[in-house]
Structure 1
């Protein structure tokens, strides 16, 4: 839903507003049309912002349609309830990570032993859940990602690349699991009826399971999933690329929600 200047995709002349600042500088934008569409959608359906960003990174976005009853951050590792991390969900995630494989400390040490400053610019740990590298994509050694992913999968983790970032994620930290939990809570509270459908959008490999688990989903014609030629039953691919794909995704949500016979939950 939000795009840096590098992600405009040739739509520089379209009217936009900045929705994220970092250290006082404008960072991410939405088109004016997309802002209005997201506000309108949030007024008629439970919208659940869902992101790989950390809690801190998510909270610096002024996302239209707020306040959010629920939001999912840290790739599903945290569920925010009225902006506050849910401790019970996080404890359950931490227990699953501990039981299913290597710890973050073990993974981080192994990863750092396989990298060097010639192609890695940063190593970061996110919300004490997972880690990622910021890399020079054209200098990543041939075969590194596949070899690293093989080690990870043998230890309860996986690896994927999205642009300049290579993520290393425990299997227990998954957006689709957090979306299912939020849906359960919305039904339990009466905000949704039991048969409510879930519609999702995403553009990276870390979104793939969430897209496949939804009743219907959409991805843009750009990003990691486009490069992988990702498809799934019930998946729509936008015609537009870049920031205009954000508008098209929101148009799709509105049209799909209107066709649905019951209220919907939509992780954006």
Structure 2
């Protein structure tokens, strides 16, 4: 019996888009119909096109769909995707593996052991970022489920030398650094989407993995997949990331999300048709 392919998708600026990331051009009357995908403090925050929502529903029926996000579990749970709760979801950049909406204890134990053996304590990275001399560009500092830290930063005020020194410090302690918009992430190396996705592939027995994402924190996941997609925006686009299995969209913004889902659906349904004829 064949196993359904895995389709892992980043959320923000891949599947769902805030109003600042829509990148819609042309007349307002020609804008695509959109649905609210997230509400925060009682107001709409993120959107999908109506067509993207319909395409995602079809992908969910044809494949094992895995949301894969750097959001914490609580932030992920605000997102309203079509269909039932995903069997598997990756949150906190791979720090939490949800199974039917519940954190997987075995995965938590495995990650904790890896971090204790190979990574500097979270408190040391947090203390470095909290130094008073960095307050001109580190505007707010947050922990994500006691797994990693992120800061809201003033990109214009943040010196390039600070980032270089931070990357050196983190690399020496087994941590990685990523800047996404106004957020600066410092994450232990064992916490990553690629390893979490590999674990889901192992558990499900899936031979085919398709992934989509836009940020540097998605790169490992895209490299792990047999087929990967990225939009014409985001950190990976700015860095010129390319790979043999990678496809780029022809559009950016919310329409790129729709385009990726359309191509993913074509791939999973074509694969199902080939298996049915075999």
If the length of structure 1 is used for normalisation, what is the TM-score? 0.92
Structure 1 position 92 matched with structure 2 position 110: yes
Q: Deviations over 1:160-182 (max 9, x none)?
A: 11111110010100100000111
SS at match of 1:17: strand
Q: 1:115 to 1:9 in 2, by over 3 A?
A: farther
Q: Paired residue for 1:65?
A: 83
Q: Paired residue for 1:222?
A: 233
Distance across 2 between alignment mates of 1:25 and 1:159: 31
Q: Paired residue for 2:18?
A: 4
Q: Deviations over 1:61-112 (max 9, x none)?
A: 1112332111110101111111011111111111111110201111111222
Distance across 2 between alignment mates of 1:144 and 1:69: 41
SS at match of 1:137: coil
Distance across 2 between alignment mates of 1:30 and 1:78: 25
Aligned equivalent of 1:181, options 194, 199, 215:
199
Q: 1:77 to 1:262 in 2, by over 3 A?
A: farther
Q: How many residues are treated as equivalent by the alignment?
A: 256
Q: CA RMSD in A?
A: 1.6
Distance across 2 between alignment mates of 1:114 and 1:91: 35
Q: Paired residue for 1:266?
A: none
SS at match of 2:53: helix
Instruction: Please say if residues 212 and 233 of structure 1, whose CA atoms lie closer than 8 Å, have aligned partners that are also in contact.
Output: no
Aligned equivalent of 2:258, options 224, 242, 247:
247
What pairs up with 1:118-157 in 2 under 5 angstroms? 118-157=136-175
Q: Deviations over 1:141-175 (max 9, x none)?
A: 12222221111001100111111111001010010
Work out which structure has the larger RCO, using CA pairs closer than 8 Å and 6 or more positions apart in sequence. Answer: 2
CA displacement at 1:34 relative to structure 2: 0.3
Distance across 2 between alignment mates of 1:136 and 1:25: 25
Q: 1:115 to 1:57 in 2, by over 3 A?
A: farther
CA displacement at 1:128 relative to structure 2: 0.8
SS at match of 1:143: helix
Aligned equivalent of 1:18, options 36, 45, 48:
36
Q: Which runs of 5+ in 2 are unaligned?
A: 1-14
Q: Paired residue for 2:246?
A: 235
Instruction: Please say if residues 71 and 79 of structure 1, whose CA atoms lie closer than 8 Å, have aligned partners that are also in contact.
Output: yes
What pairs up with 1:70-85 in 2 under 5 angstroms? 70-85=88-103
Instruction: Please say if residues 62 and 269 of structure 2, whose CA atoms lie closer than 8 Å, have aligned partners that are also in contact.
Output: no
If the length of structure 2 is used for normalisation, what is the TM-score? 0.88
Judge which range, 28-37 or 107-116, deviates more.
107-116
Instruction: Please say if residues 62 and 268 of structure 2, whose CA atoms lie closer than 8 Å, have aligned partners that are also in contact.
Output: no
Q: Which runs of 5+ in 1 are unaligned?
A: 264-268
Q: 1:96 to 1:29 in 2, by over 3 A?
A: same
Distance across 1 between alignment mates of 2:156 and 2:273: 47
Stretches of 4+ aligned residues off by more than 4 angstroms: none
Judge which range, 108-117 or 162-171, deviates more.
108-117
CA displacement at 1:5 relative to structure 2: 0.1
SS at match of 1:29: strand
